[in-house]
Amino acid sequence: MGEVCYIGLGANLNDPIKQLCTALAALAQLPQSRLTAVSSLYHSKPLGPQDQPDFYNAVAELQTELAPLALLDALQAQEQQQGRVRKRHWGERCIDLDILLFGQQQHRCSRLNLPHHELTQRSFTLLPLAEIQPQLVLPSGELLSQLTPAFDGELQRLQHAEYQACCQRLLAR
Ligand code: ROI
């Protein structure tokens, strides 16, 4: 059904792990879509200004029949719903939902770049993605697993009972 796409989730404000669980629950409810995999929870130092809390990150796999911009609209509506306020460039946020990949589609417009333009440069997108889909080949032809060693040690993978329970519940549906 539809396309397989990958959503990057990040949060560092207002009970960030709970924010990730709320966002994952919303992804599981999207119309014409199915949540098919979720990565472990990761902890990382902020990329950008260092005077902000550390981040929690994850990646979700979604099968969807929505068009890329319709999915983007839904993700931005969810960010609003969770009270996201843009405080400063590369600053703190209670939830960030980015489309990392949408099948093998390549798309450039003012609202959306596919693949996400920073996907291969950020440990907190690349490593969780490689965890759930190690065989993935990017539209550029690059094999994901060949890109990950450069980021070894940058990200801490967490065992978090509440987060794991939330993912199990959402994936069992
Ligand atoms: N830094 C980390 N570690 N994780 C993120 O999700 C993240 N998101 C961002 C910026 C502010 C660039 N830094 C981040 O948007």
Give the tens place of pLDDT for each residue, 111-158: 999 999 999 999 999 999 999 999 999 999 999 999 999 998 889 999
Residues 3-171, CATH architecture: 2-Layer Sandwich (3.30)
Phi, psi of 87 (to 5 degrees): -90, -45
Say what the pLDDT of residue 134 is.
94
pLDDT digits (tens, 9 = 90+) for 21-57: 999 999 999 999 999 999 999 999 999 999 999 999 9
Domain ranges of the chain: 3-171
Say what the pLDDT of residue 87 is.
81
Q: Is it the case that residue 1 has pLDDT exceeding 80?
A: no
Q: What angle do CA 163, 24, 103 make, to 5 degrees?
A: 125
pLDDT digits (tens, 9 = 90+) for 72-124: 999 999 999 999 888 899 999 999 999 999 999 999 999 999 999 999 999 99
Ligand 1 pocket, 118 CB below 6 A?
Answer: no
Ligand 1 pocket: which of 7, 55, 129 to mutate (most atoms <8 Å of CB)?
A: 55
- Would residue 98 show up in a list of annotated catalytic residues for this protein? yes
